[in-house]
Amino acid sequence: MESLARLPRFEQFMNREASSGVSKGLKTTILVLAAMVILSIIALPMLRQAVQRLRTVPRTEEESRREVLQEPITTPTDVEVQAQMYWLSAASSASLEPTAIKLPLSANPVERSKQLLNALIAQVPAPNKRTLPADAILLAFYIQPDGTAIADFSDEISSGIPSGILSEQLAVDSIARTLAANMTGIRQLKILVHGQEADTLAGHLDLYGFFNVPSHAAPAAAPPTPVTPSAPVTPSPSAPSASTPPKSTATPTPGKQAPR
């Protein structure tokens, strides 16, 4: 009987121990979860800042590179002139028109060409006249002895141009015609993209060949002055003709042959 009486007490003890173990485990779990939440709250802003840094570092480096490469090119021989730039026509987006702007241009042909192409990108008078992407960069420019110009642009020259044969052709024409209007000695143009030959500019215009750089148009000639007809001039009978040599009047001396 005594053992039976002790049985409920034992069960009560075991229940208390079990409930105590559960409560301790629950408390531990809650404490762990709370600690994780606190750590997350602390670490989340730091993690967000790290992600933003990872996203912005390449962009910042790219912007810094562009700022360095797009710094205005100046040389000791710079002279401010009226440069003829070829952008899209205000009347028709399917054609180009010359626009005169004042630019300091170098006497050095390579530096002068760089100044012109940088201005073609950066100094567009209106967005609807743009022919080249605003974020395109002229990486390098060379002129070979045979008159071949090589213009090396960043990748944006391809990715930023609307795909289409017309827009691509107008972009190349604006480069070639701007060089032709302000340079001498350039016969043809080769375009590279980041130092490499590209199949096309933006999917249509073939870049493997060379583009003709038209010679600068000569100024219009003055209209001919009308000539008033004058009375015909009759040559004097005694005057020998200009085209016929005069006959010799020397009398041969006896014993000597007359000169022939």
* 14 domain residue, yes or no: yes
Exposure class string for 202-212: b at 16+ Cβ within 10 A, else e? beebebeeebe
Least confident interval from 12-16, 131-135, 199-203 = 12-16
Least confident interval from 11-25, 53-67, 157-171, 176-190 = 53-67
Q: What is the mean pLDDT of residues 189-211?
A: 95
Tell me: do 35 and 155 sit in the same domain: no
How many domains are contained in the chain?
2
Cα torsion for 92, 93, 96, 101, to the nearest 10°? 100
Tell me: do 49 and 123 sit in the same domain: no
Q: What does the longest C-alpha to C-alpha distance in the chain come to? A: 192
Q: Among positive and negative, which fits the CA dihedral 34, 39, 45, 51?
A: negative
pLDDT (0 to 100) of residue 198? 95
Tell me: do 121 and 94 sit in the same domain: yes
Tell me: do 65 and 84 sit in the same domain: no
pLDDT for 111 beyond 60:
yes
* Percentage with pLDDT > 70 across the chain: 65
Tell me: do 20 and 59 sit in the same domain: yes
pLDDT band at residue 25 using 50, 70 and 90 as cut-offs: confident
* 241 domain residue, yes or no: no
Tell me: do 89 and 161 sit in the same domain: yes
Backbone dihedral region for residue 164 (phi beyond 0: left; psi -120 to 50: alpha; all else: beta): left
d(Cα 198, Cα 172) in Å, to the nearest integer? 14
pLDDT (0 to 100) of residue 92? 93
* 200 domain residue, yes or no: yes
pLDDT band at residue 249 using 50, 70 and 90 as cut-offs: very low
The one-letter amino acid code at 24 reads K
Q: What is the mean pLDDT of residues 251-258?
A: 42
| Helix or strand holding residue 134 (H, E) | none
pLDDT for 162 beyond 60:
yes
* 248 domain residue, yes or no: no
More confident residue, 56 or 84: 84
Tell me: do 120 and 96 sit in the same domain: yes
End-of-domain residue from the set 18, 44, 69: 69
The whole domain housing 191 covers 79-212
Tell me: do 14 and 61 sit in the same domain: yes
